[in-house]
Structure 1
Amino acid sequence: MTTIPTRAGTVSTPEELTADRVTKSLLGYGVIAGPVYVVASVVQGLLREGFDFSRHAWSQLALGDGGWIQVTNLVATGVMTVLAAIGLRRALRTGPAATAAPVLLALFGLSLVVAGIFPVDAVNGFPADLPQATTISGTAAVHLLAGALGFPCLAAALLVLARRLSREGFGGPATACRVVAPLFLAGFLGLASGLLGAAGVPVFVAVVVAVFALLTVVFVHRYRTMPNTDGR
């Protein structure tokens, strides 16, 4: 059987080497998905006339002229998250979280795709050139439902991963998952219920940034635990 040496001093068959390379490529989408979404949303918010970070949700950027950019951002982030979930399933293979975490993460990714396809309504004066909604439209209802289903899936995925990370001896990432996941879910519920009032949007933005940053850390960590695939 042909084997290929790696810099780590181990050997892999060509098939194993190819499989690991594919897995690491898929995991890479989990590293970049969060930064792509956050940076694209912030840049749009700064450039779109009338957008107020303290009052307007990032989802509203999908409305009006230039709205296609945020639609693309949501759909692309969702697709990258699904691909990352596939990579996570391949990387974990067996044991705690090997199935549940990737499935939950993939469901969250799919919810982002749906949220991108079905936009919210224009409210609180943005976009100013569109009629402001007085009732929730059908598309907005689907968008909100996608979040109501997808966000808990993301929080659950992180909590399930925390168990796996803890068993593997990675206490820091495990603790971060256990802290950020409930905060993210609480921020979403606070916004959706109106309990946070005027602070709802800024708080939710903060927890979204935190949870995507954590996903990047988790996927960087899993990427680094993969075998060396240089093949030299």
Structure 2
Amino acid sequence: MRMLAGGAAGAALFIALFLLNDLIKPDYDPVRDAVSEAAIGPGGWLQSANFVVSGLLIAASSAALSRTSTRWTGRLVALTGAGLALAGVVPTDPVPAAVMTWPGLIHTVAGTVSSVALIAACFTAARWRPGRSWRRYCLTVGVAVPLVFLAGVAFPDTLGIWQRLTDVLGWTWLIALELRALRSSAVRLSA
């Protein structure tokens, strides 16, 4: 049960720290700049640590999620957390980058794997103890996250806002999943 609570805490920590970083990072524009860009330059260690710690907490919860929800949901959450942690270890390139560096490429691939795995987990989790509202919530987030991200691609001057919206949608859903699994575990243990 601690692992599930840790996964929820990791997702909440990620949101809280990137929003805090938005307020305190000098020469950083959260409307324009991607969350990953906060790891560049002075004070960037905070965002890098955020990626790593949050990712590891989320990945650690995956074993408990596999037992509590579905095996595939747990596996996808493991990829989500691992991709997030790796993206924190390897810095991104500034956006737009004239030339992508190897670290920037690794960061982008790790972040993409993390995001795609989270979206896929929305669809696998929709089948776990599917109440109508839970299923609708999972499917809505699974569809909304990529659509909102595409809006950011279409309006690059406001990419930061669109990416933050996808992060809040996805990570809040992950918190709900972890808490739902935690409640399910508690009920099973008390029975």
Q: By the TM > 0.5 criterion, same fold?
A: yes
Point out the structure with the larger helix share.
2
In structure 2, runs of 5+ residues without a counterpart are none
The one-character-per-residue Cα deviations of 1:164-201 (angstroms, maximum 9, x if unpaired) are 131xxx2222211100112112233454xx32332332
Could you say which residue in structure 2 is the equivalent of 1:214? Answer: 173
Q: Does 1:172 align with 2:133?
A: yes
Trace 1:39-188 onto structure 2 (pairs within 5 A). 39-92=16-69, 98-123=70-95, 133-166=97-130, 170-188=131-149
Judging changes above 3 Å, is the alpha-carbon distance between structure 1 residues 160 and 67 closer, same or farther for their aligned structure 2 residues? same
Q: Distance in 2 between matches of 1:32 and 1:116?
A: 17
- How far apart, CA to CA, are the structure 2 residues paired with 1:145 and 1:28? 28
Contact 1:184–1:204 (Cα < 8 Å) also in 2: no
Secondary structure class of the residue paired with 2:186:
coil
Partners of 2:78 and 2:148 lie apart in 1 by 21
Counterparts of 2:82 and 2:150, CA distance in 1: 20
Cα displacement string for residues 99-152 of structure 1 (whole angstroms, at most 9, x for unaligned residues): 11111110111111111111112347xxxxxxxx42111111111111222211
Q: How many residues align?
A: 190
Rounded Cα–Cα distance in structure 2 between residues aligned with 1:225 and 1:85? 15
Secondary structure, in 3 states, of the residue corresponding to 2:128? helix
Would the aligned equivalents of 1:173 and 1:218 in 2 still touch at CA under 8 Å?
Answer: no
State the shift of 1:62 in Å: 1.0
* Cα displacement string for residues 61-114 of structure 1 (whole angstroms, at most 9, x for unaligned residues): 11112111111110111101111111111223xxxxx21111111011111111
Change (3 A) 1:63 1:227: same
Which amino acid letter does the alignment assign opposite residue 159 of structure 2?
Answer: G
TM-score for both structures, normalised by structure 2: 0.91
Q: Distance in 1 between matches of 2:102 and 2:46?
A: 22
The question of whether the paired residues in 1 share the 8 Å contact of 2:40 and 2:91 is answered with yes
Larger Rg: 1 or 2?
1
CA contact (8 A) 2:122 2:139 kept: yes
Report sequence identity in percent.
23
Name the stretch that deviates more: 148-157 or 196-205.
Answer: 196-205
Aligned partners of 1:58, 1:227: CA distance in 2, in Å? 35
Residues 229 and 172 of structure 1, relative CA distance in 2, 3 Å threshold: closer
